[in-house]
Amino acid sequence: MGPFVVGITTERKSPGVQRRVQVAGPIADLGTSAAVVPEGAAVAADVVLEAMTDGRITVTGTVSAPYEGECRRCLEVVDGEVVVDVQEVFERHPDADAETYALDGDQLDLEPMVRDAVLLALPLAPLCREGCAGPAPDAHPVVSADNPAEAPADPRWAALRELRFDRD
């Protein structure tokens, strides 16, 4: 039983009852190609559970997680935190097409909801700062296509300069 599993015996017996729950813990392999939650970092959920008369449980609150990635312009390390508002429904037998999460007896596993919320909130193309201009111009000079002589020669191609294709 992980840190995101919450007992809901009281809520199931008393529809309309609300209870605040705060849980936190690591979630493995949480990330996209551009940003990831560091391995072992705490992902937190601060939510209110409310039992409905039809046996469903609504979960409303916020989910937060730290992330790391690379700036899409200068490739420097970027870190930050995502904070996501959630409002989801848990039910015993969700349809395959339903946009609800599964209830398992008298326990509610918040991890699938937390995972989905964080993955959808991670930046797809992070920036280190809003005005990032990219790599330092002095370290990466612009070379004109019209004047390739400006470009420094790649030593791997040096042997090709010696080739001659004269048909005499």
Which mean pLDDT values do the consecutive 10-residue runs of the chain (168 residues) have? Answer: 87 85 95 94 96 90 97 90 96 83 90 96 92 73 61 75 76
pTM of the model: 0.76
Helix (H/G/I), strand (E/B), else coil: 148 = helix
CB 16 within 8 A of CB 23: no
Read off the tokens for 154: 């790649």
Other CB atoms within 10 A of residue 42 CB: 15
Read off the tokens for 28: 């493995």
Each domain of the chain, given as residue ranges in start order, spans: 5-121
Degrees to nearest 5, angle at CA 89 with 85 and 94: 140
How long is the chain? 168
